[in-house]
């Protein structure tokens, strides 16, 4: 099991450290947060490969952290040039497995005595001169000459690795659009290989070779005879057509899985993802201790996704799973406590979440938890009318919608404010909650969540009991009655403004929203909330 991941200088990661969960890790973040790069880094250090090809062959300048590269090139023109950028990826493993002891040593950045593997990309000392020449060239672009770099893949015992340690098996499942010419990616092919015994493999190879030979000598015979007749005209030596018998024509390349008589590559992409997860599950946990899954929700209908998530949960039983997602559903179902939140190459630390809150969101799996998780600042409101009034109040003050200033106003639609606040607290998120007093003193509502609040960071805003139990009386109280009746176009003279508003809960809020030219006042607790998140 991986207990610590260190990534330095790789893509978005300047100096990244993560102590992953033992079972599932749900990696969540905005675009450009480093989700995919994290999975890539893990895969690189575990297998020495990226997308099935050796790291050394794939190494390119874009692997390096942009800021580190810029700083380096800038320093070259200064009096004190910096050493060239390097990449370091380290995976620290648990020290409870005897079969991993050979990986144990202190050759890691923490000098921990644990088993582990690392990948170090640095200028190759053998090419020091070429590297220096390149850098000294006045016309060179500000791009690293990765040709003079080498990839050093080692155990923590400082022994070089040439192939993936057999104990560190990994299944990589990438359901983003993957297309290789063979219609099946390297990782899927690796998983399929598990099914084929060496003996069968040899038998298939022989049969395959024989079939090719028969095509060459029999089926193509007439063709070759015809060519031979015109042979002299073509070339001074005979020319013929034969099936490719070279190593590159191995049968493995021409075998593809079929799903219900449809070739894998022709199957729907959602189905492909489901099949890959099924294949990964089929591998024994002995051979695959790790599973890396990218955005499993892609191309899947909701019902299929439900099934897939169940399977992933099962898969995680005795493996360590790293999964990226953009889906609140996946996050809620697999458990909010498994969340690994990334933000521009750094980890946002998640504090402890009460187990019952994790269960609560698992059941409410349709709730858009990711909005809470990814927002810079959150305002939690009870329903749509509160949302619209707050937004309008915010616009009045700033001239912009809240989202434009990084404030996400989220209608809790029945989800308890306390659960939401627990999540915000675990994420140390800036959050405001707005609620009705429902005829009780604000303190009555404040007290149960008091420990989740933090001065200036998380607060709950509630109107005074004297000003009314809900938003409508609170709003009516601070505005001129005639103005409101005119704005809302209330014609029924028998009906009090507040009663009409209560009967038309979202209508009045919508009208308010649609008439920004009409000046209104807001209840104190709403204005306070606007000030708080500004």
Q: Where on the chain is the footprint of another protein (CB under 8 A)? A: 98, 101-102, 104-107, 111, 113, 156-159
Check: CB of residue 292 under 8 Å from CB of residue 280: no
Check: CB of residue 347 under 8 Å from CB of residue 17: yes
Distance of alpha carbon 11 from alpha carbon 50, whole angstroms: 14
**Which of these, 25, 16, 20, lies nearest to 3 by C-alpha position?**
20
- Measured from the CB of residue 313, what is the shortest distance to another protein in angstroms? 32
The smaller minimum CB distance to another protein, of residues 101 and 506, is found at: 101
The smaller minimum CB distance to another protein, of residues 92 and 532, is found at: 92
- Measured from the CB of residue 156, what is the shortest distance to another protein in angstroms? 7
The smaller minimum CB distance to another protein, of residues 64 and 156, is found at: 156
Distance of alpha carbon 20 from alpha carbon 316, whole angstroms: 14
- Measured from the CB of residue 113, what is the shortest distance to another protein in angstroms? 5
Q: How far is CA 237 from CA 115, 222, 240, in A?
A: 61, 18, 10
Cα–chain center distance at 432: 27
Q: In this structure, what token pair is assigned to residue 399?
A: 């001239």
- Measured from the CB of residue 284, what is the shortest distance to another protein in angstroms? 18
The smaller minimum CB distance to another protein, of residues 106 and 132, is found at: 106
User: What does the angle CA 173 – CA 177 – CA 180 come to, to the nearest 5 degrees?
Assistant: 85
Cα–chain center distance at 204: 39
Distance of alpha carbon 336 from alpha carbon 331, whole angstroms: 6
- Measured from the CB of residue 7, what is the shortest distance to another protein in angstroms? 21
3-state secondary structure 50-86: ECCEEHHHHCCHHHECHHHHHHHHHHHCCCCCCCCCC
- Measured from the CB of residue 236, what is the shortest distance to another protein in angstroms? 52
The smaller minimum CB distance to another protein, of residues 48 and 105, is found at: 105
- Measured from the CB of residue 85, what is the shortest distance to another protein in angstroms? 20
The smaller minimum CB distance to another protein, of residues 157 and 365, is found at: 157
The smaller minimum CB distance to another protein, of residues 6 and 336, is found at: 6
Bridge-based pairing of strands 407-411 and 458-462 is unpaired
């Amino acid at each position: 099991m991986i207990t610590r991941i260190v990534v330095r200088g790789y893509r978005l990661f300047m100096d990244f450290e993560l102590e992953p969960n033992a079972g599932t890790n749900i990696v969540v973040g905005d675009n450009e947060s480093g989700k995919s790069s994290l999975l890539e880094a893990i895969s690189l250090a575990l297998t020495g490969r990226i997308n099935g090809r050796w790291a050394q062959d794939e190494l390119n300048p874009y692997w390096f952290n942009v800021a580190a590269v810029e700083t380096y090139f800038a320093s070259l023109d200064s009096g004190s040039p910096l050493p060239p950028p390097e990449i370091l990826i380290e995976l620290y493993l648990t020290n409870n497995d005897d079969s991993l002891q050979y990986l144990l040593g202190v050759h890691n950045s923490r000098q921990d005595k644990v088993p582990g593997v690392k990948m170090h990309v640095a200028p190759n000392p053998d090419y020091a001169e070429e590297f220096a020449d390149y850098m000294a060239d006045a016309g060179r672009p500000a791009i690293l000459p990765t040709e003079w770099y080498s990839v050093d893949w080692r155990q923590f015992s400082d022994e070089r690795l040439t192939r993936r340690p057999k104990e560190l098996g990994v299944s990589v499942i990438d359901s983003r659009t993957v297309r290789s010419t063979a219609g099946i990616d390297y990782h899927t092919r690796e998983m399929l290989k598990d099914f084929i015994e060496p003996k069968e493999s040899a038998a298939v190879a022989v049969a395959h070779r024989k079939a090719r030979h028969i095509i060459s000598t029999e089926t193509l015979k007439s063709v070759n005879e015809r060519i031979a007749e015109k042979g002299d005209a073509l070339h001074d030596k005979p020319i013929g057509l034969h099936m490719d018998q070279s190593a590159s024509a191995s049968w493995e390349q021409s075998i593809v899985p079929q799903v219900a008589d449809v070739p894998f590559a022709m199957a729907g992409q959602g189905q492909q993802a489901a099949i890959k997860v099924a294949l990964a599950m089929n591998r024994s946990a002995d051979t695959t201790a790790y599973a890396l899954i990218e955005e499993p929700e892609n191309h899947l209908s909701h019902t299929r996704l439900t099934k897939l998530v169940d399977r992933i949960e099962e898969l995680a039983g005795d493996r360590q799973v790293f999964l990226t997602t953009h889906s609140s559903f996946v996050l809620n179902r697999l458990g909010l406590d498994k969340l690994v939140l990334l933000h521009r190459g750094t980890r946002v630390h998640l504090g402890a979440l009460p187990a019952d809150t994790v269960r609560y969101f698992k059941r409410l799996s349709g709730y858009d938890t990711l909005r809470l998780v990814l927002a810079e600042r959150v305002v939690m409101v009870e329903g749509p009318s509160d949302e619209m009034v707050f937004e309008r109040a915010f616009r009045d003050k700033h001239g912009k919608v809240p989202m434009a200033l990084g404030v996400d106003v989220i209608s809790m639609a029945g989800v308890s404010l306390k659960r939401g606040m627990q999540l915000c607290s675990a994420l140390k998120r800036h959050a405001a909650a707005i609620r009705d007093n429902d005829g009780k003193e604000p303190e009555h509502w404040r007290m149960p969540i008091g420990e989740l609040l933090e001065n200036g960071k998380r607060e709950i805003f509630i109107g005074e009991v004297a000003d009314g139990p809900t938003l409508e009386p609170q709003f009516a109280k601070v505005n001129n009655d005639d103005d409101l009746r005119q704005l809302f176009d209330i014609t029924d003279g028998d009906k009090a403004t507040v009663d009409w508003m209560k009967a038309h809960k979202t209508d009045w809020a919508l009208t308010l929203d649609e008439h920004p030219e009409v000046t209104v006042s807001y209840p104190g607790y709403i204005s306070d909330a606007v000030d708080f998140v500004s």
